Amino acid sequence: MSSVKLDLEYPRVDIRPMHELDLPVIAAIEKSAYQFPWSEGIFRDCLRVGYICRVIEVAGDLGGYGIMSVGAGEAHILNVCIRDEYRSRGFARKVLLYLLERARGAGMSEAFLEVRPSNLAAARLYHSLGFEQVGIRRGYYQATVGREDAAVLRRMLSDHKG
């Protein structure tokens, strides 16, 4: 695994609550990252219903975001996205670890997420954080031609610290 130079390259990296004023930038990041992006309205709904919505700021620049729901003893990581120029620098890992800690702090015993099997970088990151595949959702994602399955991943929270 390559070393991450977060503190050397970017002196200020903060995770803070997402605000409605962030939504145009978040929607632009989402649109640049995904062929079938969430709309600004979906992000607004996530804020409205009280999901854990966070952004990562890199030297004051909005570099990405993470959204998670919690309830009934489990967390569901719904969306994590890092702006293109900040990818492969450890920021997605930082957001995910933050969300997992929030889930653990809220008393959740496990966390779930879905990933496209074709998204190898994301799948590698999730597995490196202790997520294991527990199922497949057939035809879960929109795709250029038809639908793509989602791998359902789970991480137990009670026996992990990092």
Question: Which of 105, 22, 29 is closest to 70 using CA atoms?
Answer: 105
The 3-class SS string of 79-136 reads: EEEECHHHCCCCHHHHHHHHHHHHHHHCCCCEEEEEECCCCHHHHHHHHHCCCEEEEE
6-156: which CATH architecture?
A: 3-Layer(aba) Sandwich (3.40)
Mean pLDDT (whole number) for 12-32? 97
- Per-residue model confidence (pLDDT) at position 136: 97
Catalytic positions are 114, 126
- Per-residue model confidence (pLDDT) at position 159: 55
Q: What is the pLDDT of residues 106-156, one digit of tens each?
A: 999 999 999 999 999 999 999 999 999 999 999 999 888 889 999 999 999
For the chain, the straight-line distance linking the first and the last C-alpha, in angstroms and rounded, comes to: 16
Query: What letter represents residue 27's amino acid?
Result: A
- Rounded CA-CA distance 20/47 in Å is 8
